[in-house]
Structure 1
Amino acid sequence: MSAGQQAAGAPATMTAGAPVLPSPRSEQAPGLTDGDWQPVLAAIRGASSVDLVCHVLPDGDALGSALAAGIALRSLGIEVRVSFGDDPQVVPGSLEFLPAQDLLVPASAVPERPELLITFDVADPQRLGLLRSRAEAAATAVVIDHHASNGGFGTYQLIDPAAPATAVLVDELLRRLGVPLDRDIATCLYTGVATDTGSFRYAATTPATHELASRLLATGLRHDLISRRLWDTQSFGYLKVLAAALDRAVLERGAADGLGLVWTWVPYADLTAHGVLPEEIEGLIDVVRKASEAEVTLVLKEDPDGSLRGSSRSKGAVDVAAACGALGGGGHVYAAGFTSHSTVDTTVARFRDALPPH
């Protein structure tokens, strides 16, 4: 039994006598036309091998989207490699249940000039890390993403900022390729959608998002076990890092035009002291953002080289993508990030000053 099957629990319902699943809806990707999809479909159908890559420190939407596509393309007889550009390449513990991780290869195993390379959830080529040069050298590069800040790199772009997750676009890709949902594909897609909608709590969630979730659940996956792994399972070391970050948190009630900013930071020394990997603290911001006095949240995480990775969230009244864009990053209105090589105080001041009026 695979790790994905263990997470899913119950047998798949795609068997004889099972209820017929509702057809996927093209409304899942309203910002894209047939003209956008056709050259991508032709490139995939004509490829003998495809490299599927997501951003460094992948979250559930990035890795889930890439693996779902990998399972689908493998079923079509296409040679597939899935990768991300970290060294060492470590799958976050919260995503170890995802199926088809036998498709994963280190960045060094991706050809220097891929025949066809597809990126998932990558808003900027810099987020490809060690794989950026491969994407730039690919004979054909396809970008599948939902970030409004995506500048449109690559040969073809399937970018829809209205989509709540990249996984939504992958679902539409599979529909157009004629690949039916099975439980493994559904587990990957559900992980992506649940991750980027905050378990369907964020404002980008639409009726079509719930319709997609219904189809995915109908394959027999165990959404309760997936949710437990994504949000409710952490190491004791993480709790110690979280405690220190909360103790370090600062509330600035006058920031963001009086709507409030809460921020904190995590020195790399905290991670090493408690044996915590950088990817383990990605969800820390979801705890800090609960402060009722602040519309905007910022968490800075120090990397080994001393640089700071900033993650920001908005509850809806402030466009944090604009603020992060001013610092060289990007993302969504409600969630965005950037990298800084300045001190913590300077970085917070720059972010605060960049917050647009509401």
Structure 2
Amino acid sequence: MTASTSTAVARALTGVPAVTILCHVRPDADTIGSGLALGLALDRLGTEVEVAFPATVSLPTVLGDLPGSKLLVPAAEVVGHAVVVSVDAASLGRLNELAPVLSAAQHSVAIDHHASNEGFAELDLIDAGADCTAVLVLSVLDEMGVEIDDEIATCLYAGLVTDTGSFKWARPESFRIAARLIEAGVDGRAWSRALLDTHPFAWFSMVAQVLAGARLLPEACSGEGCVYAVVGHEILSAMSWEESESVIDIVRTANEAEVAAVLKETAPGEWTVSLRSKHSVDLVPIAAAHGGGGHRHASGYSDTGTVDDVIARLVESL
């Protein structure tokens, strides 16, 4: 593996006949938006392209509406071209059953912005200072001289607006990039609403039930406080995965807590834990202690056992 620049990645992708682009498990707007933006650009340069994600969950409807969705192929039908690019996966394991596709490639590239990513490809474009992987893909496309039209810009905007929480924690450069993308033709109002502010009516009942069981631990994190909520399997199985992901954004608003956690029971006794912090707490070591990773202020991991056991291990690590 080699730490790489946007220029090196652009050179590796220029003029190749075919490319496979892999998005991470439980795909979000940054991984799909990055994958489709890169795929559209390569497709317009005459490259044969396939974009895929692990088949553990269905693609959220709004992401299937992004331009370039015609490039998506089911995981079971992935050809696996000589050049394979991973987008927004913090580790090889995040590619799930598609990980062997990257490992078997003649040339592999990883583009990512997670601080916990130690690199797993032949070329690794990893920048924890970037707000999202989409901005790194944009830098590669600029190096390739690709025109950023409205369709490519829309895919990039999806990653940018979601990973910055509608720009609530965006760096100055992200605002400049957002202006550029909107000037390229993105309907920012419509896509922000679709990606961030649209839920089925049943979501309200789910949120009410989950928040009713939320607990505040004022002594956690050296007295800075932690708030957590649990989404049990019975509740989780009645909704789409992406709807459950929105819970953390509500829980994190608790004024008395520096850290927020949402425990989601994906199957009986199997859990994913989402962590968020506001200012002082670095979540990467906490997530890493449980075999996970992510960013300083947004990380996660998996665990197994009873809800009491999972909560106890979380609290102990805080």
- Establish whether TM, by shorter chain, passes 0.5: yes
Alignment of 1:59 onto 2:28: yes
- Structure 2 partner of 1:290: 253
The equivalent position to 2:173 in structure 1, one of 208, 211, 215, is 208
Q: Is the 8 A contact 2:15 2:47 kept in 1?
A: no
Partner of 1:40: 9
Q: Which of 65, 69, 72 is the matching residue for 2:38?
A: 69
* From 179, 193, 214, the counterpart of 1:249: 214
Range 77-86 or range 234-243, more displaced: 234-243
Q: Tell me how far 1:261 sits from its aligned partner.
A: 0.4
Question: Residue type matched to 1:40 in 2?
Answer: V
* Alpha-carbon distance in structure 1 between the residues aligned to 2:247 and 2:97: 26
**Residue identity in the other structure for 2:213:** R
Partner of 1:128, secondary structure, is: helix
- Structure 2 residue aligned with 1:307: 270
Using the TM superposition, give the Cα deviation of residue 47 of structure 1 relative to its aligned residue in structure 2, in angstroms: 2.0
The equivalent position to 1:281 in structure 2, one of 244, 252, 255, is 244
Q: 2:283 aligns with which of 305, 320, 334?
A: 320
Whole-angstrom distance in 2 between the partners of 1:293 and 1:154: 41
Q: Distance in 2 between matches of 1:94 and 1:286?
A: 19
Unaligned runs of 5+ in 1: 1-31
Q: What secondary structure, in the 3-state scheme, does the structure 2 residue paired with 1:337 have?
A: strand
The answer (yes or no) to whether the contact 1:66–1:82 under 8 Å persists in 2 is yes
| Superposed displacement of residue 151, structure 1 | 1.6
1: CA distance, partners of 2:294 / 2:145: 31
Q: Which residue number in structure 2 is paired with residue 29 of structure 1?
A: none
Percent of aligned pairs with the same residue? 42
Cα deviation for residue 38 of structure 1 reads 4.2
Matched with 1:232 is: 197
Match of 1:20?
none
Q: 1:114 deviation in Å? A: 3.0
Distance in 2 (alpha carbons) for counterparts of 1:94 and 1:257? 40
Contact 1:324 1:351 survives alignment (8 Å): no
Conservation of the 8 A alpha-carbon contact between 2:224 and 2:256: yes
Residue equivalent to 1:86? 55
Q: What residue identity is the alignment partner of 2:172?
A: P
2:173 aligned counterpart, secondary structure: helix
Secondary structure of 1:154's aligned partner: coil
User: For residues 167 and 56 of structure 2, what CA distance do their matches in structure 1 show?
Assistant: 32
1:107 aligns to what? 75
Measured against aligned partners, the alpha-carbon deviations of 1:230-257 in whole angstroms (never above 9, x if no partner) come to: 1211112222221111011111111111
Measure, in 2, the Cα distance between the counterparts of 1:145 and 1:214: 22
Verify the 8 A CA contact 2:236 2:266 in the aligned structure 1. Answer: no
Q: For residue 225 of structure 1, report the CA deviation from its aligned partner.
A: 0.7
In structure 2, give the amino acid aligned to 1:212.
Answer: I
Q: d(CA) in 1 for partners of 2:269 and 2:95?
A: 20
Cα 1:94/1:239, change in 2 over 3 Å? farther
Write out per-residue CA displacement over residues 193-214 of structure 1, whole angstroms, 9 at most, x where no aligned residue: 1111111111xx2221111111
- 1:268-311 Cα offsets, whole Å, 9 max, x none, are 21133xx4122221111001111111110000111125310110
- Whichever residue aligns with residue 212 of structure 2, its letter is D
Match of 2:225 among 260, 266, 270: 260
Shift, 1:336, TM fit = 0.3
Shift of residue 338 of structure 1? Answer: 0.3
Q: Deviations over 1:42-79 (max 9, x none)?
A: 32124211111111111111111101001101010000
2:7 and 2:140 in contact (8 A); partners too: no
TM-score by length of 1: 0.85
Deviations 1:156-210 (A, max 9, x none): 10000000100010010100011011001111111111111111111xx222111
Structure 2: gaps (5+ residues): none
Q: What secondary structure does 1:257 align onto?
A: helix
| Alignment of 1:345 onto 2:308 | yes
Seen in structure 2, the aligned counterparts of structure 1 residues 103 and 305 have a Cα distance that, compared at 3 Å, is farther
Residues 305 and 109 (structure 1), Cα distance of their counterparts in 2 relative to 1, 3 Å cut: farther
Mapping 1:26-37, distance limit 5 Å: 36-37=5-6
Contact 1:322 1:354 in 2 (8 A): no
**CA 1:221/1:317 → structure 2, altered by over 3 Å: closer, same or farther?**
same
Task: Write out the 4+ residue segments of structure 1 that deviate beyond 6 Å after TM superposition.
Answer: none
**2:141 matches 1:174:** yes
Give the TM-score taking structure 2 as reference length: 0.95
Larger CA deviation: 131-140 vs 189-198: 131-140
Residue 136 of structure 1, CA deviation: 1.4
Residues 333/101 of structure 1: CA separation in 2 closer, same or farther (3 Å cut): same
Say how many residue pairs are matched: 317
Q: In 2, distance between residues paired with 1:306 and 1:44? A: 43
SS of match in other structure, 1:303? strand
Q: Distance in 2 between matches of 1:176 and 1:220?
A: 21
